[in-house]
Amino acid sequence: MRPSVGVVIPTRGNRPEQLRAAVRAILTQDYPGPLSLVVVADEGDPAVVADQVAGAVAPSCVTGARHHVRVLPNSLTPGLPGARNTGIAACDTDLVAFCDDDDLWLPGKLDAQEYALRGGAEFASCGIEVEYGRRRTPRLAGTETVTAADLTRSRMVMVHSSTFLFRRGELWADESAPAGQNEDWDLALRAAKRRPIVNVDRPLVRIRWGNSYYVGRWAERIAGLEWMLARHPELAVDPRGAARIYGQLAFHHAALGRRRQAGRWAMRTFGARVAEPRAPIALAVAAGLISAPAVLALLHGRGHGI
């Protein structure tokens, strides 16, 4: 018998079509082991979310011996980490997986990752396919193993929460993350410090950018990066990793019109790594040469973020 898997989907109930597509993609995975799905309504009406989920797949897929679907309210801290932890606590499975309500698992995702975990790893990720508008861009790690050093040097967007599959029992989302910012990066980094992450390096999850709750929430992004620097001091030690974070802080301050703070963080960025491109981009935004949303649109169209 293959390990049982519990999948957690947090939702606010404001993207019913995307949620139904995410549920359908999970429950139609060609995985022979027991599969359960917990949809957690965060700040939304569970009854409304249950109506949205109903009919996402054929009844035989939902109520069969290998599949079970539940919709629960977030019983912990409001926000994404609390919703994830509510789902984890509700799972009695061998493995836990995450999927955001606007993303799609592609065929073979679960089977390939469970197979990769058999070597003794605790945590698995996989490559992604970024969808923005009509364009889809694969993002791969170029490696079958992701270490804590890798995640310190780079956020590694392909180690995305919707790719996470891990052994239940030791890992939880940190509910102190401000507005849920970077809780997924924190979780992956903590997992990699325990044992390297095994990565199936082909695009097995479609990440659909453009509808994220966090787009444009600049102050929350700043708070999330400062939280990560406080929790993981090593992020400020690696020059490349530090420059990336400082450049992001410069950009977010520039997006808020805080020219002085943007300039200070840009100088820190140059001090860590002269070649870091986020600093001049942030200065261009601060000077009014281009808007922050326009920068993100250009980057997202190429499958990248700031």
Closest CA to 162 of 134, 130, 190, 133: 130
Closest CA to 226 of 182, 285, 267: 182
Residue in the block written with tokens 């659909």: 208
Closest CA to 135 of 53, 207, 29: 207
How does strand 35-41 pair with strand 5-11?
Answer: parallel
Asked: is 5-208 a CATH 3.90.550.10 domain? The reply is yes
- Position 108 scores a pLDDT of 97
Structural Rg of the chain based on CA atoms: 19
- Position 214 scores a pLDDT of 54
Q: How far apart are CA 151 and CA 188, in angstroms?
A: 8
Within the chain, all domains assigned CATH 3.90.550.10 are found at: 5-208
Task: Tell me which amino acid residue 105 is.
Answer: W
pLDDT per residue over 15-58, tens digit each?
Answer: 999 999 999 999 999 999 999 999 999 988 899 999 999 877 65
Pair 38, 125: CB distance under 8 Å: no
- Position 63 scores a pLDDT of 44
Contacts with 244 (C-beta within 8 Å, 6 or more apart), sequence order: 154, 155, 276, 278
Strand partners, 95: 5, 167
Alpha helical stretches, state H, 64-202: 80-90, 109-116, 148-153, 183-194
Q: Tokens representing 252?
A: 């977010």
Q: How far apart are CA 211 and CA 198, in angstroms?
A: 29
From the CB of residue 239, how many other CB atoms can be counted at a distance below 10 Å? 14
| pLDDT mean across residues, the chain | 93
Alpha helical stretches, state H, the chain: 16-27, 46-53, 59-63, 80-90, 109-116, 148-153, 183-194, 218-231, 239-255, 259-272, 278-286, 292-300
Pair 27, 61: CB distance under 8 Å: yes
- Position 68 scores a pLDDT of 85
Q: How far apart are CA 221 and CA 235, in angstroms?
A: 16
Pair 70, 36: CB distance under 8 Å: yes
Residues of the chain whose pLDDT is less than 50?
60-65
Closest CA to 262 of 253, 271, 275, 272: 253
Residue in the block written with tokens 């996470």: 164
- Position 44 scores a pLDDT of 80
pLDDT per residue over 205-231, tens digit each?
Answer: 999 987 655 566 999 999 999 999 999
Angle at Cα 306 formed by Cα 81 and Cα 192, nearest 5°?
50
Q: How far apart are CA 197 and CA 204, in angstroms?
A: 16
